[in-house]
Structure 1
Amino acid sequence: MRTVTIEEITKKFSLEVLSGHDQLHRVLKKTKVRRPGLEFMDKFDFIATEHVQILGKNEINYLHTLSTEESKLRIGNIVQYAPPCIIITSRQEEPLGLIQYCTEEKIPVLRTPDSTSELSAKLDAYVIKAMAPEIAIHGVCINVAGMGILLRGKSGVGKSETAHTLIGRGHRLIADDIVVLKKLSPQTLLGTFDEKNKEFLALRSVGLLNVVRLYGRAAFQEETRIALDLELTEWKKDDLNNELEMETKFVEYMDVKIPHLKIQLQPGRDIAGLIEAAANNWYLKQQGYSAAEEFMKRIESEFEGN
């Protein structure tokens, strides 16, 4: 998990620094911003500490009604929770005592023209991704019809070549060779690239391709939520699965379960088409539809008719 500094979010969201220019190296420790409510009134042990505090119109208007000393007291109640910084939204004027108190306590005060809801959503999303636990795996990540898919298999099995075929069919590359997986929640795994392999696809006998330069921006996507893990394996005649409906198997990455399928390779087999079919079929299952169940209902209906 990498760290995020106040300076990083200041540059990312074009925040104005009102005070604490020498404290922008401070590190965020929590992923969710907070709006002080009860925190204004007193110290509460059950309220989480070390969150970025956002002062919106309600909070600023309240502080403007107070005297300098009373305002400083209320701000002091927020400072007790050790915020890495305080951000004023909607380009509002800072309340009396805020700059002085935060300068004394070495807490940067920032300001943005964004509304509270806009900044909260953007900042939360950015910090959650940046601070998410992550691992790097060998494979290819591609977005097929809006669904994030991991392609895995032994080196040289044809993962990158298959991804190239899928790009030609209108799907999007996320990462080739090294895929960075970020755990956003117990159920959510995000696939993305590292900075070295962004937009690149390596094909044996051809070389390194920049898919954006070759095929345009639509050939590349920066990240995708992982929905399927597909393993490309060597052809084994006696190992093919011909059941009407495959039993769902899973693999785990950082304790997040991802549905797993194996696809056997053989010359002439349309692997890209099978991957498209697997993605679309999985989507239908999530909508509650099963082709196998419908087929069995038709068989039962025919028997009943006879």
Structure 2
Amino acid sequence: MVKVRTQDLLEHFNLELISGEEGLHRPITTTDISRPGLEIAGFFDYYPSERIQLLGKTELSFLEKLSPLEKEVRMEKLCTDETPGICISRGLEVPEELIEASEKHSVPVMRTSSKTTRFSSRLTNYLESKLAPTTAVHGVLVDIYGVGVLIIGQSGVGKSETALELVKRGHRLVADDCVEIRQEDEDVLVGSSPELIEHLLEIRGLGIINVMTLFGAGAVRSYKRITLVINLEIWDKQKQYDRLGIEEEKMRIIDTDLPKLTVPVRPGRNLAVIIEVAAMNFRLKRMGVNAAEQFQERLAGAITDETKVREDSIDPLK
């Protein structure tokens, strides 16, 4: 499925369409942008024609020094059937040879008043956001003290009810039931809600509630980076749960490993408070304060001291 077309760039960045209107439907398949300086100089052996081509003052100034025939040939080669579009920065004048070639091959030529480097950065960020790998996870995403916590678990385990309690405690709901996740960088996962169920929470026995209407705009947010996964599962007497917090599980989403905590669910446990404390403890760990490791060190020190005292009491020469 095509995610971005040249038409989207024209509308999003409010670009001026110069020529090649018939090609506005062309898909953009890569986040990379090309500045075809070598191509304008005549070297087309490795021309990345599938990228958006960005021409700035440097490229157009060099083009002006070429002969009319060279201009025509190189602009023809620049406009291929794969090229999604050509952008001219700084509001510079577009060469006639480029306009003719773009009309002939239906390659949109657009112009912006932004500086080349600035526009390249904005365009790259936009394309990386739109073309990022995506997936969907069944769960609830809540912003707790700035930590994006993805709560997962079997259907009916109490994810939505826990999210409701967290919202009442002042935290913000991002998505319920279905969390759309996109990988914006190597280790950056951003979660959001499908538009159809945005700001909605389903509580069994109560139905669907609108969190923003009930609790205000401060109780929701549109997206949040996911940094912690909490898995809720029904308490299993046969299973040994981590009681110190030394061991760290991981959950892989797309190409990123996220820290994962498994919290057993049983009557009497306040899940909202447990998850809230888990988020605060996670923040402390990132700041270099690890209570479990500190306890382990104190325990090891106490055992060493006790062993020393015993050895001293047994050895008659000491």
Q: Give the aligned partner of residue 3 of structure 1.
A: 3
Contact residue 22 and residue 107 of structure 2 kept, 8 A: no
Q: What SS class does the counterpart of residue 163 from structure 1 fall into? A: helix
Distance in 2, matches of 1:192 and 1:116, equals 32
Contact residue 134 and residue 182 of structure 2 kept, 8 A: yes
TM-score after normalising by structure 2: 0.84
Distance in 1, matches of 2:249 and 2:272, equals 21
Distance in 2, matches of 1:149 and 1:133, equals 20
Distance in 1, matches of 2:186 and 2:120, equals 22
Distance in 2, matches of 1:288 and 1:76, equals 58
Residue type of the alignment partner of 1:122: R
Contact residue 199 and residue 211 of structure 1 kept, 8 A: yes
Residue type of the alignment partner of 1:181: I
Distance in 1, matches of 2:280 and 2:45, equals 49
Q: Give the aligned partner of residue 272 of structure 2.
A: 272
Distance in 2, matches of 1:81 and 1:249, equals 48
Q: What SS class does the counterpart of residue 197 from structure 2 fall into? A: coil
TM-score after normalising by structure 1: 0.87
Answering whether residue 199 of structure 2 is matched by residue 199 of structure 1, we say yes
Once the two structures are TM-superposed, the CA of residue 113 in structure 1 deviates from its matched residue by 2.6
Unaligned runs of 5+ in 1: none
- Post-superposition Cα deviations, 1:224-277, rounded to whole Å, max 9, x if no partner, equal 222222111123456463542331112223343222211122334232222222
Once the two structures are TM-superposed, the CA of residue 203 in structure 1 deviates from its matched residue by 2.0
Residue type of the alignment partner of 2:128: I
Cα 1:207–1:109 shift into 2, 3 Å? same
Residue type of the alignment partner of 1:88: I
Q: How many residues align?
A: 306
Cα 1:277–1:90 shift into 2, 3 Å? farther
Contact residue 5 and residue 24 of structure 2 kept, 8 A: yes
- Post-superposition Cα deviations, 1:185-238, rounded to whole Å, max 9, x if no partner, equal 453333222221122122223332222333333322222222222111123456
Q: What's the RMSD between the two structures over aligned residues?
A: 2.7
Cα 1:203–1:53 shift into 2, 3 Å? same
Residue type of the alignment partner of 1:57: K
Unaligned runs of 5+ in 2: 310-318
Cα 1:231–1:122 shift into 2, 3 Å? same
- Post-superposition Cα deviations, 1:20-68, rounded to whole Å, max 9, x if no partner, equal 2222111112122222222322335445330001122333333345454
Distance in 2, matches of 1:35 and 1:45, equals 15
Contact residue 2 and residue 130 of structure 1 kept, 8 A: no
Residue type of the alignment partner of 1:51: R
Residue type of the alignment partner of 1:62: F
Distance in 1, matches of 2:138 and 2:131, equals 22
Percent identical residues: 37
Q: Give the aligned partner of residue 51 of structure 2.
A: 51
Contact residue 68 and residue 96 of structure 1 kept, 8 A: no
Residue type of the alignment partner of 2:9: I
From the CA coordinates, give the structure whose radius of gyration is larger. Answer: 2
Q: Higher mean Cα deviation, 257-266 or 20-29?
A: 257-266
Q: Give the aligned partner of residue 163 of structure 2.
A: 163
Q: Give the aligned partner of residue 214 of structure 1.
A: 214
Residue type of the alignment partner of 2:6: I
Distance in 2, matches of 1:289 and 1:40, equals 56
Distance in 2, matches of 1:135 and 1:199, equals 20
Distance in 2, matches of 1:177 and 1:166, equals 16
Which residues of 2 match residues 21-100 of structure 1 at below 5 A?
A: 21-46=21-46, 48-79=48-79, 82-100=82-100
Q: Higher mean Cα deviation, 51-60 or 236-245?
A: 236-245
